[in-house]
Structure 1
Amino acid sequence: MIGKYFAERISWITFYIFLHLFIIFVAFLDSAIPLKPILYIVFLSLILFSIFLIFRYKKETFFYKSLEAREDNLDITNIAGPESPFEKIIENSIINQTELLKQSASIGRMTLEQEKDELLSWIHEVKTPLTAMHLMIDRLDDDLLKSHLTYEWLRIHLLLDQQLHQRRMPFIENDLYIENADLEIIIFDEIKTLQSWCIQKGIGFDIQLDVTEVLSDAKWLAFIMRQILTNSIKYSENADITINSYIQDEQTILEVKDSGRGIDPKDLPRIFDKGFTSTTNHRDNAATGMGLYLTKNAAASLLITIDVKSELGVGTIMTLTFPKRNEFVNITSM
């Protein structure tokens, strides 16, 4: 701050020094003016000026130090009171701008909340005819047509479900209910939903659950499994998907292994990034790049760690490591 203060006052200091040098120069040229007394006066003046600068530094920088130390938020209560008319102008400007930003942020939040509610309402409205459509498809006699329509219905269902959870994600803490969730029920329910797609692609399941119960939120855990299974099915063909659960270091581990095309090593660090789609098949316009992003966020809220191992042409292993029971203290106390 000292350097900034002197940089701000450099023109005044320069003018002051120049003025005294000018007085000495005039006294030097004019023999009628005694030089030694002038030098003495200039010396005393410089000492007084230095003391004045030190005193004014503390007084003039107090307001600006409080601005510099202020956190980057809309709280302006910690700003020191202005000491000069210029500082008062700055304070008024900051207060006015902060109020405008608060109003704008409040309006933005209200608009966003309204849009979220409208979209959620729309999604729930769409689910009604979608359910009716599924019942109609089930009554079809043409197995080939039935299979194709069921697949397209499933795609719409999964996209709507993903959009629904995406809108709920910012408020997931308010939606969590930690309980003993049955892994077997969750996994088999998701497989049943994806059954028509699996039959179409010739995909089976090899399931070995040594642990069938975990402490988690059943609804959000089902969403996580849905996204992982959807990815495994999407990139697999005529192969089994293996699902295992076991205990390791007092923690439950759930593995989902497929024999699909695998993930390029350069893509692995980015697969959970928002909007990222594979560089292997970059022209896949159907990919939204949101599934694994939402999965990672939901898992983080449930204290579940997701690890991925993959090899091109061999397959992918998704490993979910569930937290120990005592790690849920913070969540269950909400």
Structure 2
Amino acid sequence: MIKKYLIERRSWIFLVIFLQLLTVFIAMLDTQIELKPILYITFLSFIIFLIFLIIRYNTETKFYKSLEERENNLDLTSVASPARPLEHIIDQSIRDQTRLLKKEASLHLFNLEQEKDELLSWIHEVKTPLTAMQLMIDRIEDETLKSQLKVEWLRVHYLLDHQLHQKRLLFIENDLYIEKVEIKPIIFQEIKTLQSWCMQKGIGFDIELKATEVYSDAKWLAFIIRQLLTNAVKYSHESDIMMGSRIKEEHCVLVIQDFGRGIDAKDLPRIFDKGFTSTTNHYDNAATGMGLYLVQKIARPLMVHIDVQSKPEEGTTFTLTFPKSNNFSNIRGM
């Protein structure tokens, strides 16, 4: 701040130095003026000017220091009160802009909440006829047609599920309830939901769960497993999907491995990016690029680490490492 202050006041400093040198120069040229008293007066005035500069530095930079040190938010309580007219102009301008931004932010938040509520309401309304369709499909005797309709019903169901969790994700911190969760019933429930699609594609499951308890939120964890299993089924053909869990260094580790088309090495760093689909299969119009993005966003507050290994045409392995119970000491709902 000292350097900035000296740069800001450099014109005044140069003016004072110039006037002092000019006085000495005139005294040197004019023989009727004694040089020693002039030098003495010049020296004293320069010392007084330095003391004045130091005192004014603390006074004039207090307001600007508070602006420089405050956090980048809309809270102006840490800003010092302006002491000079120009500072009042700056302070008033900042406060007017802050009020405007707060007003716009509140309006956007209100619109976002309204849009979210409308969409959630629409999703719940659509679920009613969707449930009725499921009951109607179950009464169809033609097994081939029944299987095809179930797969299409499942796709619509997952699209709605995506939208529902995407909107809830903004407020996930308020929705978390961390407890000891059994992963086996969650896994088997998701496999049961995918049963018709798996039968159509000739896909089976090989499951070996050596560890069955994790600390997590059952609802959000179910979505993560659902999305990973959906991807595994979607990109596999007539093969088994391997699922296993174990304890590693006091952490529960869940592995989901498929033997489908895999992911190209150059795409691996980007698979969790919002909207990213694929560079090698860019023609796949069915992909939205939102599934794994949502998985990663949900995994962070759950403190689940996700590792991915994949080779094209050999398959993909997702490894989920769950936290220990004491990691949730501050937010666990137990």
* Counterpart contact for 2:205–2:240, Cα < 8 Å: yes
Relative to 1, partners in 2 of residues 1:56 and 1:153: Cα closer, same or farther, differing over 3 Å? Answer: same
Corresponding residue of 2:168 = 168
* Counterpart contact for 2:179–2:333, Cα < 8 Å: no
Query: How far is the alpha carbon of 1:202 from its aligned partner?
Result: 1.5
* Counterpart contact for 2:177–2:333, Cα < 8 Å: no
Corresponding residue of 1:109 = 109
Relative to 1, partners in 2 of residues 1:10 and 1:214: Cα closer, same or farther, differing over 3 Å? Answer: closer
Pair 1:21-2:27 in alignment: no
Corresponding residue of 1:67 = 67
Corresponding residue of 2:6 = 6
1:157-199 CA distances to partner (integer Å, 9 max, x unpaired)?
Answer: 1111011011111222322233443322211211121122212
Q: Which moved more, 1:59-68 or 1:212-221?
A: 212-221
Q: Where do 1:98-177 residues align within 5 Å?
A: 98-177=98-177
SS class of match (2:330): helix
SS class of match (1:316): strand
1:90-141 CA distances to partner (integer Å, 9 max, x unpaired)?
Answer: 2222222222222222222222111111111111111111222223333334
**What RMSD, in angstroms, separates the aligned Cα atoms of the two structures?**
2.2
Q: In structure 2, how many angstroms separate the alpha carbons of the residues matched to 1:283 and 1:71?
A: 45
Relative to 1, partners in 2 of residues 1:215 and 1:84: Cα closer, same or farther, differing over 3 Å? Answer: closer
Relative to 1, partners in 2 of residues 1:328 and 1:56: Cα closer, same or farther, differing over 3 Å? Answer: closer
SS class of match (2:320): strand
Query: How far is the alpha carbon of 1:73 from its aligned partner?
Result: 1.6
Corresponding residue of 1:250 = 250
Corresponding residue of 1:96 = 96
Gaps of 5+ in 2: none
Q: In structure 1, how many angstroms separate the alpha carbons of the residues matched to 2:322 and 2:29?
A: 90
SS class of match (1:238): coil
Q: Which moved more, 1:20-29 or 1:272-281?
A: 20-29
SS class of match (2:55): helix
SS class of match (1:109): helix
Query: How far is the alpha carbon of 1:290 from its aligned partner?
Result: 1.5
TM-score, normalised on structure 1?
Answer: 0.91
TM-score, normalised on structure 2?
Answer: 0.91
SS class of match (2:265): coil
- Percent of aligned pairs sharing the same letter: 66
Aligned length: 334
Structure 2 residue identity aligned to 1:313: E
Q: In structure 2, how many angstroms separate the alpha carbons of the residues matched to 1:119 and 1:249?
A: 43
Q: In structure 1, how many angstroms separate the alpha carbons of the residues matched to 2:317 and 2:87?
A: 61
Corresponding residue of 2:230 = 230
Structure 1 residue identity aligned to 2:130: L
Q: In structure 2, how many angstroms separate the alpha carbons of the residues matched to 1:141 and 1:19?
A: 105
Corresponding residue of 1:85 = 85
Q: In structure 2, how many angstroms separate the alpha carbons of the residues matched to 1:178 and 1:29?
A: 88
Q: In structure 2, how many angstroms separate the alpha carbons of the residues matched to 1:212 and 1:124?
A: 32
SS class of match (1:252): strand
Corresponding residue of 2:311 = 311
* Counterpart contact for 2:262–2:314, Cα < 8 Å: yes
Q: Which moved more, 1:177-186 or 1:75-84?
A: 177-186
Q: Where do 1:253-264 residues align within 5 Å?
A: 253-264=253-264
Relative to 1, partners in 2 of residues 1:324 and 1:13: Cα closer, same or farther, differing over 3 Å? Answer: closer
Q: In structure 1, how many angstroms separate the alpha carbons of the residues matched to 2:304 and 2:2?
A: 50
SS class of match (1:301): coil
SS class of match (2:273): coil
Q: In structure 2, how many angstroms separate the alpha carbons of the residues matched to 1:299 and 1:186?
A: 16
Q: In structure 2, how many angstroms separate the alpha carbons of the residues matched to 1:43 and 1:331?
A: 67
Q: In structure 2, how many angstroms separate the alpha carbons of the residues matched to 1:2 and 1:215?
A: 53
Q: In structure 1, how many angstroms separate the alpha carbons of the residues matched to 2:105 and 2:282?
A: 37
Q: In structure 2, how many angstroms separate the alpha carbons of the residues matched to 1:135 and 1:323?
A: 40
